[in-house]
């Protein structure tokens, strides 16, 4: 397939290539990634189409799609890509740029996924480690779905599958500082 | 006695305590001493790399720097997700010293990263460093009779550039280990399909679909149980199994063991110490197969005419 693309400086394509360390122009649209991807059927646009959008500078469309949020980074696609493109890294680059530039896909599922990750990182910031039970509870509260997974609670808690507490880190300050520094690095990187 | 550094990961103190406990039993039997990384922190898992590149590197990097302060040349990690994050950080830092220096500024007060320590998943350590022969030599209670589907998940062998271990499509290391314990590994095509991972909480429907397919294929392979080496795979396949059965109106009843639980049993540790009570799908039905003789499928006997036809061709 012949693709006219805007190869040049300051393009979306160039930014994605730089961030991901892959060359999206290499993609010849065979679709192997789509048939390999375990979640392509949940995506607005499967990986192949996201690749094409990047080539065509359809920046907003790619960033507003739920696709990059559903990517599990399982790397099944990149292992089979005949052009050896690191597809999960490309998806991640698009997602990171969308976060930086405040593009928020308007889907409840994406909002939930994002909220989960934010709560997870918040747990680490607070305790240095993940506090599983608290994380689940906060997720239910913040997504206003109090009874989600409640049917699992009696068995999981009685069997001790999910412990009630967490052993926090001694050097919590180091983690707080790391978060501050990471935020600075992120801004420098823009 | 060999000595290695040990990074248990958050779930070892949470949902996968039984993995942690049995890893310790296995390592003790194999004469390997484990030294836990002092005051380790969470690797950031999927969440860190989803939202922030800097945090995704900085969180594991602190652990790598801490590990270098110990005098061991290898660090073993039971959790597949922790392993993936730490190894990816190591590979990227070693490739790009500029990136390493930049991320190192976020690891405040712990020192400089030098890249001295090798990182191995527990599966990789068992297979490469202990070796099949040595494992076999310690088996006092073979688990022969059990048919097991070995499920690796996505992060233990993929991407190849990061893990540098086994096949990303059809790995065999775990199959060889369970066969060294006396069991039979079934031919199982969904070995490295993703279970849905962290969507377990944020988008459960995806996990029910993906893990459901894995259970279906494991059952079809004739397995009595599934063996895993990842806490998230275990909880998705075990804790969500009833939900999957309900959603798709099927019945699997497939217990999900950690590899080290089976190794510990074969090494003669009592069943009571495996913390099987934490499993949602009871394991007794699968363990009851120990001692059974598995009949090899007979080769089809060729009829007289077929033999005659073949010799005519020759």
Average pLDDT over residues A164-169: 82
- Which pLDDT score is estimated for A8? 65
Tell me which chain B residues have a C-beta less than 8 angstroms from the C-beta of A170: 39
Tokens of A47: 């990986």
Q: State the DSSP code for A10.
A: T
Chain A nearest-CA residue for B8: A129
Tell me which chain A residues have a C-beta less than 8 angstroms from the C-beta of B154: 72, 74-76
CA B48 to chain centre: 22
- CA dihedral sign of residues A42, A48, A50, A53: negative
Contact between chains at B48 and A121 (C-beta distance less than 8 A): yes
Q: What is the ipTM of this complex?
A: 0.91
Closest CA to B81 of B14, B34, B130, B129: B14
Average pLDDT over residues A49-75: 96
Is residue A106 packed enough to be buried (19+ CB in 10 Å), middle (13-18) or exposed (0-12)?
A: exposed
pLDDT class for A3, splitting at 50, 70, 90?
low
Q: Output A12 or A3, whichever has higher pLDDT.
A: A12
- The CATH class that applies to domain A12-100 reads mainly alpha
Average pLDDT over residues A42-50: 96
For residue B298, pLDDT beyond 80: no
- Which pLDDT score is estimated for B90? 97
Distance CA A18, CA B125 (A): 35
For residue B58, pLDDT beyond 90: yes
Contact between chains at B196 and A162 (C-beta distance less than 8 A): no
Transcribe A64-90 into DSSP letters.
Answer: HSSHHHH-----HHHHH-TT---HHHH
pLDDT class for A72, splitting at 50, 70, 90?
very high
> Does the beta carbon of A2 lie under 8 angstroms from any beta carbon of chain B?
no
R_g (Cα) of chain A, nearest Å: 20
Contact between chains at B54 and A185 (C-beta distance less than 8 A): yes
Closest CA to B274 of B13, B1, B15, B17: B17
- Which pLDDT score is estimated for B306? 64
Average pLDDT over residues A74-79: 95
Output phi, psi for B152, to 5 deg.
-95, -25
Distance CA A107, CA A68 (A): 13
- Which pLDDT score is estimated for B248? 96
Distances (CA, A) of A56 to A4, A9, A51, A99, B1: 7, 14, 9, 21, 60
For residue A2, pLDDT beyond 60: no
- Which pLDDT score is estimated for A5? 57
- Which pLDDT score is estimated for A158? 76
For residue B314, pLDDT beyond 60: no
| Across B32-41, B117-126, B291-300, least confident range | B291-300
The tens digit of pLDDT for each residue in B177-228 reads 999 999 999 999 999 999 998 899 999 999 999 999 999 999 999 999 999 9
Nearest to B42 among A70, A95, A128 (CB): A128
- Which pLDDT score is estimated for B45? 94
For residue B70, pLDDT beyond 80: yes
Q: Which of B104, B159, B204 to mutate to test the interface with A (most CBs of A within 10 A)?
A: B159
- Which pLDDT score is estimated for B182? 97
Percentage of chain B lying above the pLDDT 70 cut: 94
- Which pLDDT score is estimated for A131? 87
- Which pLDDT score is estimated for A190? 65
Q: Which domains does chain B have, with CATH numbers?
A: 2-123 (1.20.1050.140), 139-287 (3.40.50.11810)
**Are B186 and B110 contacting, i.e. CB atoms less than 8 angstroms apart?**
no
Contact between chains at B239 and A178 (C-beta distance less than 8 A): no
- Which three-class secondary structure state does DSSP give residue A2? coil
The pTM assigned to this predicted structure is: 0.92
Contact between chains at B55 and A178 (C-beta distance less than 8 A): yes
Average pLDDT over residues A43-63: 96
Mean pLDDT, all residues of chain B: 94
Closest CA to B228 of B273, B312, B171, B167: B171
Distance from CA of B235 to the nearest CA of A (A): 9
The tens digit of pLDDT for each residue in B251-263 reads 999 999 999 999 9
Residue B284 neighbours by CB under 8 Å, 6+ apart: none
Distance CA B160, CA B60 (A): 19
> Does the beta carbon of A140 lie under 8 angstroms from any beta carbon of chain B?
no
- Which pLDDT score is estimated for B300? 66
pLDDT class for A183, splitting at 50, 70, 90?
very high
Contact between chains at A161 and B62 (C-beta distance less than 8 A): no
Contact map slice: A 61-100 vs B, CB within 8 A = 69-70, 72-76, 78-79, 86, 92, 95-96, 99
Contact between chains at A170 and B105 (C-beta distance less than 8 A): no
pLDDT class for A185, splitting at 50, 70, 90?
very high
- Which pLDDT score is estimated for A154? 77
Bridge partners of B184, per DSSP, are: B147
Q: Which of B7, B17, B41 to mutate to test the interface with A (most CBs of A within 10 A)?
A: B41
- Which pLDDT score is estimated for B307? 63
H or E segment to which residue B164 belongs: none
Nearest to B277 among A95, A112, A159 (CB): A159
> Does the beta carbon of A152 lie under 8 angstroms from any beta carbon of chain B?
yes
Distances (CA, A) of A10 to A15, A16, A68, B306: 7, 10, 22, 71
Percentage of chain A lying above the pLDDT 70 cut: 95
For residue B25, pLDDT beyond 80: yes
pLDDT class for A4, splitting at 50, 70, 90?
low
Q: State the DSSP code for B121.
A: E
Distances (CA, A) of B95 to B46, B69, B90, B120, B306: 22, 21, 8, 18, 61
Nearest to A182 among B52, B110, B280 (CB): B52
Q: Is B109 left (phi over 0), alpha (psi -120 to 50) or beta?
A: left
Chain B nearest-CA residue for A179: B55
Distance CA B271, CA B279 (A): 13
Contact between chains at A76 and B44 (C-beta distance less than 8 A): no
Distance from CA of B122 to the nearest CA of A (A): 19
Contact between chains at A113 and B11 (C-beta distance less than 8 A): no
- Which pLDDT score is estimated for B112? 94
R_g (Cα) of chain B, nearest Å: 21
- Which pLDDT score is estimated for B310? 63
- Which pLDDT score is estimated for A166? 84
Average pLDDT over residues A53-65: 95
Contact between chains at B154 and A115 (C-beta distance less than 8 A): no
> Does the beta carbon of A21 lie under 8 angstroms from any beta carbon of chain B?
no
Nearest to A174 among B55, B109, B210 (CB): B109
- Which pLDDT score is estimated for B296? 75
Distance CA A79, CA A68 (A): 18
- Sequence ranges of chain A with CATH classification 1.10.1060.10: 12-100
Around Cβ A21, how many Cβ atoms within 10 Å? 13
Distance CA B86, CA B118 (A): 10
Tell me which chain B residues have a C-beta less than 8 angstroms from the C-beta of A129: 10, 13, 41-42
């Amino acid at each position: 397939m012949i693709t006219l693309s805007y190869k040049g400086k300051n393009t979306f394509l160039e930014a994605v290539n730089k961030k991901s360390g892959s060359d999206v122009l290499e993609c010849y649209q065979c679709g192997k990634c789509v048939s390999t991807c375990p979640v392509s059927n949940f995506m607005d646009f499967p990986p192949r189409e996201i690749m094409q959008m990047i080539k065509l500078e359809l920046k907003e469309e790619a960033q507003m799609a739920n696709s990059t949020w559903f990517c599990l980074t399982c790397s099944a696609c990149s292992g089979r890509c005949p052009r050896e493109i690191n597809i999960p890294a490309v998806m991640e680059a698009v997602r990171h740029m969308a976060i930086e530039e405040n593009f928020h896909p308007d889907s409840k599922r994406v909002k939930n996924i994002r909220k989960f990750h934010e709560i997870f990182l918040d747990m680490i910031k607070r305790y240095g480690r993940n506090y599983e039970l608290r994380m689940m509870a906060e997720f239910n509260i913040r997504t206003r779905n109090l009874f989600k997974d409640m049917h699992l609670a009696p068995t999981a808690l009685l069997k001790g599958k999910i412990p009630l507490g967490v052993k926090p880190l001694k050097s919590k300050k180091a983690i707080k500082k790391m978060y501050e520094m990471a935020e600075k690095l992120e801004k420098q990187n823009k | 006695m060999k000595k290695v550094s040990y990074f248990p990961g958050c779930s070892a103190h949470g949902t996968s305590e039984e993995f942690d406990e049995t890893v310790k039993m296995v390592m003790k039997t194999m004469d390997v001493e484990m030294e836990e990384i002092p005051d380790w922190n969470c690797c950031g898992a999927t969440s860190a790399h989803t939202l922030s590149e800097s945090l995704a590197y900085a969180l594991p990097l602190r652990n790598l720097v801490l590990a270098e302060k110990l005098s061991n040349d290898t660090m073993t990690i039971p959790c597949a997700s922790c392993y993936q994050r730490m190894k990816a950080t190591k590979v990227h830092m070693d490739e790009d010293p500029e990136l390493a220096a930049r991320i190192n500024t976020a690891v405040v007060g712990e020192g400089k990263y030098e890249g001295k320590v090798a990182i191995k998943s527990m599966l990789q350590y068992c297979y490469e460093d202990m070796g099949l022969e040595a494992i076999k030599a310690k088996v006092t209670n073979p688990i022969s009779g059990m048919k097991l589907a070995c499920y690796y998940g996505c992060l233990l062998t993929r991407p190849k550039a990061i893990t540098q271990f086994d096949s990303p499509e059809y790995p065999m290391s775990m199959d060889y280990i369970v066969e060294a314990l006396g069991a039979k590994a079934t031919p199982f095509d969904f070995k490295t399909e993703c279970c849905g991972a962290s969507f377990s909480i944020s988008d459960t429907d995806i996990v029910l679909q993906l893990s459901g397919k894995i259970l279906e294929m494991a059952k079809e392979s004739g397995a009595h149980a599934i063996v895993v080496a990842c806490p998230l795979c275990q909880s998705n396949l075990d804790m969500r199994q009833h939900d999957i059965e309900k959603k798709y109106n099927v019945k699997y009843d497939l217990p999900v063991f950690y590899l080290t639980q089976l190794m510990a049993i074969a090494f003669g540790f009592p069943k009571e110490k495996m913390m099987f009570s934490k499993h949602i799908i009871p394991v007794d039905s699968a363990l009851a197969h120990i001692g059974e003789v598995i009949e090899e499928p007979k080769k089809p006997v060729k009829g007289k005419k077929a033999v005659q036809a073949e010799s005519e061709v020759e």
